[in-house]
Amino acid sequence: MSKINKENKPITSEKLMNELHRYQKGSITRRHFLEVTGLGAAMTVLGTAMPSLLPRKAHAFGNLGNRLVFATWPNYHNQVNLDEFTKMTGVHLQMNAFGSNEEMLAKLQAGGTGWDVIVPTNYTITNYVNLGLIQPLDLSRLPNYDGSANDPMFAGPATVNGTVYCVPKNWGTTGFIINTKKIKSSPKSWKDFFDVTMGAGSGHTIVHDYQLTTIGAALCALGYSFNSIDPNELAEAEALLIKSKPHLFAITSDYQPGMRSGDAWMSICWNGDATQLKNDLPEMDYVIATDGGEIWTDFYAIPTGAPHLDAAYVFINYLQDPYIQAREASVHGYAPTDSRAIALQPDSLGSDPILHPAAELLNGLEFGAAQTMTDPVRAEVIARFKSA
Amino acid sequence: MLKNEDSKPNHWLTAALLMPTTMWFVFMLILPLIVILIFSFGERAAVGGYAASFTFEQYANLPSRLKAFQNTMIFAPIGTLLSLFMAYPLAYYLALRVDRRYKFILLVLVIVPFWTSLLIRTYAWIFILGGRGIPLMLEWIGIEGVRLVNTPGAVLIGIVYGYLPLMVFPIFVSLEKIDKNLLEASNDLGGTPFKTFMQITLPLSMLGVATGCMLVFILLMGEFLIPAFLGGGKVFFIGNALVDLFLQSRNWPFGSAVSVTLVVIMLITVSLYMRLTMRTKTGRDESLM
């Protein structure tokens, strides 16, 4: 969180040029430009002499309404950015944080969510498109998005049958975090993860309340694919999970409080949470398992029938601004997919092995598959494991 | 004849006044229950949701949620009794012992927690019971290795904390209504305080006790928030199984079957309970005569 404080320092020439660029492109208003660059104060002096420079009420965005409902993940945004958006546009953000994509799908299927923008993960998109739950994007309304700046490995799932349905947000990995003060054996794989859980670390492990990652971890520990939907392999994974259940500290996707309080020593973990934890507690160590795991991209999409469509486009466009993306990443600790944003990141983050792991570490990881989301056996396995 | 004509407009008035409630019950209770009943004989659609069908498959799958049913059937009565034992002395003190001047302010203090959402208050308990809360304080006085959060005990603490006011108020009201002359008469006739309590105060407050227990028990049968937060997903109630089935695995038919079963269990236990308390009450009334 300390990084937010840097916003208060005097503006650098680099940032001034950035802000000027954003202003010229219409990403920010004149008023905002004057404010963040510190030129606003000068205006009060110059104003009388040069009336044309006086800040006017911003009409750059038209009438967007005053509200935008937005479904995303916990610990995934920089409050400074969100506040700035509200200040600029007058649109208040109502944020719903979720624990799993399946939960988001369940709400969308039930209908009447009132959501304007959602943050789905790669493996959900073809399902959402097939079910008619998200709408194609009009890229002309997203001038800040630059398709060529995004690695197709990450941005690929956004396009279904030649139509672009979303734009990428961040990419990351799902591994596990350990408190090295408590766990000395340095586990390297999901097999080690479950061994430690049922051994030296008994009573102190958290697994997600999320079928994709929790079943995926158990499958990898058994030597199977993270995405397996083979009923026999899933039965083995279920047996492993149920066997480990008495040794777990909790089944929850909100694992930061447990890790921070010292109650939990090890947890399935997304790499951004790992960065956030490690920033505050140096004894935390993030591990990309050697026997597999997940690599993912999150996207911005607009649900079908979004009530505040114009505001949704302006919001996504705002968040695609490379400078805003970099500022997001400075807080949540996930790598942008956009090379323009990566270039703006401070060196400490640009070379951080948790955000940007060595390519060979990614070799064993899998992107979630569309059928992994909808497979009824996986859905029932996680539900049985939790109620066991 | 005259009498009948007199009461006719009253019928209309009664009907008009009952209309909103009737509509509410029909549209918000009866119809949804019928939908749930129909869904419970269906199948899970390919990507989740409901697909029309007629099968008993969902009911056959109920044993897979046995543990959740068991947990609910164990924790709901224990939680109710614990709340009762915590609430009765407090209600007694508020109704019969406390100085009239402080009564109002103390009553308000019982309600104050309701001004904050239960979600936030339960979240706070995660930190109080977590490793840097009470266990850390216990370490200072030499008791080490105590784990509170994500245990059945933590869930019970959360339940008593969350439901206490619901138990205190009905008991308070019934105790408050007791005619103080009865207590004095008992005293005059040589009854010890214990005897007075057992033979007069307690029987006269039974209606409040029964109401409070009913309120708490029924709500606990559907509880999911407290076990999810303070049980860490490890102490699993049938309410949690339902949330899962609808919000994660999107298995509406099985979720409906579980709901129907829960409703049936509730109807049976609650009607047994009512029959029991009614009988005791009339019995007591007679003996008091």
Reported as a single tens digit per residue, the pLDDT across A269-317 is 999 999 999 989 999 999 999 998 999 999 999 999 899 998 999 999 9
Q: Give yes or no for a contact between B206 and B281, defined as CB atoms under 8 angstroms apart.
A: yes
From the list A130, A211, A386, the residue facing B233 with the nearest CB is A386
What pLDDT, on a 0 to 100 scale, did the predictor assign at position B1?
46
Across B232-240, average pLDDT:
89
Give the pLDDT confidence score for residue A60 in this predicted structure.
Answer: 61
Which of B131, B232, B241 has its CB closest to that of A252?
B232
Does the beta carbon of B236 lie under 8 angstroms from any beta carbon of chain A? yes
Structure tokens at A366: 């899998």
Looking up tokens 């570490």 gives A361
Each domain of chain A, given as residue ranges in start order, spans 1-60, 63-169+297-350, 172-295+354-387
Q: Is residue A71 within 8 Å of residue A113, measured between CB atoms?
A: yes
Predicted pLDDT of residue A33: 56
- Bridge partners (DSSP) of residue A295 are A173
Please determine, for residue A52, whether its predicted confidence score (pLDDT) is greater than 60. no
Task: Please name every residue paired with A93 in a beta bridge, in sequence order, or none if there are none.
Answer: A68
- A67 pLDDT exceeds 50? yes
Answer for the pair A381, A218: CB distance below 8 angstroms, yes or no.
no
Q: Of the candidates B68, B130, B249, which has its C-beta nearest A380's C-beta?
A: B249
Whether A20 shows a pLDDT value over 80: the answer reads no
| Proportion of chain A above pLDDT 90, given as a percent | 41
A86-130: per-residue pLDDT in tens? 988 888 999 988 888 988 998 998 888 899 999 999 999 999 999
CB A73 within 8 A of CB A49: no
Q: What is the mean pLDDT of residues B268-287?
A: 70
Interface check A131 vs B, CB under 8 A: yes
How far apart, in whole angstroms, are the C-alpha atoms of residue B147 and residue B134?
Answer: 9
Instruction: Characterise A209 by phi-psi region: left (phi > 0), alpha (psi -120 to 50), beta (else).
Output: beta
Higher pLDDT, A16 or A89: A89
Q: What pLDDT does residue A45 have? A: 43
Q: Are the beta carbons of B65 and A385 closer than 8 angstroms?
A: no
A207, A217 in Cβ contact below 8 A? Answer: yes
Residue B236 · residue B71 · CB < 8 Å? yes
On chain B, the residues whose CB falls within 8 A of the CB of A127 are 47
Residue A310 near chain B (CB below 8 Å): no
Q: What are phi and psi of B44, to 5 degrees?
A: -70, 130
Q: State yes or no: pLDDT of A44 exceeds 80.
A: no
Kindly state the percentage of chain A with pLDDT values over 70: 84
The answer on pLDDT for B156 being more than 70 is yes
Q: Taking Cα atoms as reference points, which of A225, A230, A216 lies closest to residue A377?
A: A230
Q: How far apart are CA B12 and CA B8, in angstroms?
A: 7
Cβ pair B48:A374 closer than 8 A: yes
Mean pLDDT, residues A192-214: 91
Express each pLDDT in A157-199 by its tens digit. 888 888 999 999 999 999 999 999 998 898 999 999 999 999 8
Residue of B249, B62, B271, B114 lying closest to A378 (CA atoms): B249
Q: What is the pLDDT of residue B5?
A: 52
- pLDDT confidence band for B110 (50 / 70 / 90): confident
Report the distance separating Cα B231 and Cα A296, nearest Å.
30
Cα-to-chain-centroid distance, residue B246: 23
Out of B46, B132, B247, closest to residue A261 by CB: B132
Percent of chain B with pLDDT over 70: 93
Which of these, A184, A178, A382, A365, lies nearest to A267 by C-alpha position? A178
B168 CB neighbour count, 10 Å cutoff:
24
The upper half-sphere exposure of residue B87, i.e. CA atoms within 13 Å in the direction of its Cβ, equals 32
Instruction: With CB atoms and an 8 Å threshold, state whether B249 touches A379.
Output: yes
Domains of chain B with bracketed CATH: 66-288 (1.10.3720.10)
B280's enclosing H/E stretch is helix B252-288
A63-169+297-350 is a CATH 3.40.190.10 domain: yes
> Whole-angstrom Cα distance, residue A93 to residue A83?
9
pLDDT value for B47: 79
- Pairwise pLDDT comparison (A344 vs A15), residue with the higher score: A344
Contact yes or no for A268/A176 (Cβ under 8 A): yes
Residue A346 sits at the chain B interface (C-beta within 8 Å) = no
φ, ψ of residue A162 in degrees (nearest 5): 80, 0
Per-chain mean pLDDT for chain A: 84
Same CATH fold assignment for domains A63-169+297-350 and A172-295+354-387:
yes
A257: left (phi over 0), alpha (psi -120 to 50) or beta: alpha
Q: Does A252 touch chain B (CB under 8 A)?
A: yes
Which of A179, A206, A263, A381 should one mutate to test binding to chain B, selecting the residue with the greatest count of B CBs within 10 A?
A263
Residues on chain B touching A376 (C-beta within 8 angstroms)? 44, 46, 48, 249, 251
Q: What is the DSSP letter of A91?
A: P
pLDDT-derived band at A14 (thresholds 50, 70, 90) equals: low
Given a cut of 70, whether residue A4 has pLDDT beyond it is: no
Supply angle C-alpha B102, B104, B109, rounded to 5: 95
| Interval B112-123: pLDDT, tens | 888 888 889 988
pLDDT tens digits, one per residue of B43-67: 888 778 888 888 888 898 888 888 8
Q: Which residues of A touch B234 (CB under 8 A)?
A: 245, 248, 250-251
Residue A32 has pLDDT above 70, yes or no: no
What confidence category does residue B7 fall into, taking pLDDT thresholds of 50, 70 and 90?
A: low
Looking at domain A172-295+354-387, which CATH architecture does it have? 3-Layer(aba) Sandwich (3.40)
Q: Is A249 a residue whose pLDDT tops 90?
A: yes
**Mean pLDDT, chain B, whole residue set:** 86
Please report which confidence band the pLDDT of residue B270 belongs to, taking 50, 70 and 90 as the band edges. confident
Number of other residues whose CB lies within 10 A of the CB of residue B140: 7
Residue B188 has what pLDDT?
86
- Split at pLDDT 50, 70, 90, the class of A46 is very low
Q: What is the pLDDT of residue B281?
A: 58
- pTM exceeds 0.95, yes or no: no
